[in-house]
Amino acid sequence: MRQIFKIFILSIFFLSVYFFLFWSGIIKYLALGSSYYFGDYELFKNALSCVNKGLSPYNGPPELNCKGYNYGYVLLVLMPFKDFIVNANEFTLPIFLTTIFIIFSVQILNPKNYFQFFVCLLALLNPATLLLIERMNLDLLLYLIIIILAFNKIYFLNWLLVAYSFLFKFHPFIYGIIIFVEKEKRKLKNLLLIFFFILIISILSIYIYREEYTLMFIDSGSWKMGLHYLYSIKTIPKILKESFSFHYGLMLLIIYILFIFQITKRVSKYEIHSNYDFEKKLFLLSSNSLLFCFITFSNAFYREVFLVLTIPYLLANIKDFKNVVYLICFKFLFNFIYTIDLNFETFYHVDDIRIYKAHFLMIVFLKGVIDYILMLFIGSIAFRMNLDLLKKINKNIIRN
């Protein structure tokens, strides 16, 4: 009862802070989202409305707002209460999802002392998290799905959620790792059956809605992330290109080689316990997802929210990962400096060529370095877990 009361009080506290930030308009200076609240949710709502009218959300009539949606079509098809969502007030679902996000986050962070409460404050109130809420980006659903996957014991539901997440955004295929850790000593035959079950559902869904997914691929290929709100290993090469005209491809290759070399070198420094409790499963899913997105895509700033899901495991093993926790705190604090700088003019044009200002390039470069170092630590721990998991699977295969 005491734990429930603590979660309730903390949830009310964070909801009140969020309400104040939105009501006062301060969030526009901390998150710098758009001219109106919940812009990404509005795109989703418009897409749902278009589907209800039998129109494509990817290349439908622009005057009916049937363009700009860049998520999987299955999300729209399987969304319950379509009519309610389309006709509801624009704040109804965002407020509901924000409340669930806060309750789940407070529950998993579960601060037990002042330092952990400070970490919780930074995790939920730093600009990256605020941008996710301000935009009401649908990555919030993936955040909640990871928590459910790590906690849930109804394995069939987990498999469906893995397929659903993949069809939602593709990169969450990584969530499939859950089938190896949700149940101890699962036989190879069962693993293969589960894998093919998820694979067949995914392929069949893509085939049924192949036209929609083709349009989604085309639309996503035309959208590129610039230097603003960037979270990626590509940040440093992009800054070097803009600042010194270095060859972007060569810089990217060098940074990849350095990153892989440093991760493999650091792996042996970590000793990971073999049991997969809730915190470890949460870290395994979120860190692998972060690592894959970090080295593959030019991610929007709000994707850093998945760092929050790594914190419970790190805090539970604070003696081993104290420096990583401190680095996450420093990164969240630096996000405030980063967004404050974005409030000022960051570029100008000369002969229709965009020229970035020196203060902006410097602050983005520093953010890129911090992101690189942090992901080096988290990636090393994740890689160690992956290697241990492979050894464990191999032993089970030999034993069976």
Output the pLDDT for position 400: 64
Q: Confidence class of residue 350 from pLDDT cuts 50, 70 and 90?
A: confident
- 164 backbone φψ class: left, alpha, beta (φ>0; ψ -120 to 50): alpha
Output the pLDDT for position 223: 61
Output the pLDDT for position 220: 67
| pLDDT tens-digit map of 254-305 | 999 999 999 999 988 888 887 899 999 999 999 999 999 999 999 999 999 9
Least confidently predicted of 8-12, 81-85, 278-282, 311-315: 81-85
Distances in Å between the Cα of 384 and the Cα atoms of 217, 232, 292, 392 are 33, 21, 15, 12
Sequence-ordered list of residues with C-beta below 8 angstroms from that of 150, at least 6 positions apart, any chain: 178, 278, 281, 282, 285
Contact assessment for residue 236 and residue 362, using Cβ atoms and an 8 Å cutoff:
no
| pLDDT tens-digit map of 127-183 | 999 999 999 999 999 999 999 999 999 999 999 999 999 999 889 999 999 999 998
Output the pLDDT for position 215: 87
DSSP structure class, residue 60: S
Sequence-ordered list of residues with C-beta below 8 angstroms from that of 351, at least 6 positions apart, any chain: none
Q: Where are the domains of the chain?
A: 230-399
Say yes or no to pLDDT of 111 above 80. yes
